[in-house]
Amino acid sequence: MKKSPLVGISLRNGSIAGTLAVTLLVLMYYLGRHPLMVAPFLDFRIVLLGVFIFFTLKEFRENHQAGELHFWQGMAGGFIMVMVAATIASLLLWIFAALETDFIREYVTRMTEYLKSFPKEDIERIGKDAYQRNLENLPSTNGKQVAASYFVQSMVIGFFVTIIVSVALRKQPKTAPHGN
């Protein structure tokens, strides 16, 4: 059975994207900006995954499909690419957190300070019990939990970005005009 070029392209680009994601995380950390404290709408994964999904699907469409790409092909290729990138990035993040012991400790300290700075109105909106539970559970955070959370977040971001890019790059075969 012949392997689809979409799978091969997605695996290659996912591997590159996952490695690049962790490189950026480590770089941010050593430059003094803890990567786990970035607001979700400023997360670099939105752009990183978008660029890699775009080039994955564009390469497949132009080099293997004669300019045609169905939405399902875009979703499949994007899903594979994101799954590989998220898996590699999460595993490497877990390893980094194990090697750099201050990474999790610093995250817990910063997040605790951040949560304690919430105004009472925000705490009431969240719910006092949920707020207190999050604050109490924070010190037990470990690298495995952070890596798992990073994986899930990457998959969610990747899902929505894949839909957008798949629609943007979708090209159906031209059909002959009816009647003449």
pLDDT value of residue 1: 54
pLDDT value of residue 88: 98
Domain that holds residue 117: 5-169
Contact 164, 53 (CB under 8 A): no
| Residue 180 maps to a domain | no
| Residue 176 maps to a domain | no
| Residue 105 maps to a domain | yes
pLDDT value of residue 138: 94
| Residue 179 maps to a domain | no
Q: Along the 180 residues of the chain, how does pLDDT read in single tens digits?
A: 567 899 999 999 999 999 999 999 999 999 999 999 998 888 999 999 999 999 999 999 999 999 999 999 999 999 999 999 999 999 999 999 999 999 999 999 999 999 999 898 988 888 989 899 989 999 999 999 999 999 999 999 999 999 999 999 998 767 656 654
What is the number of structural domains in the chain? 1
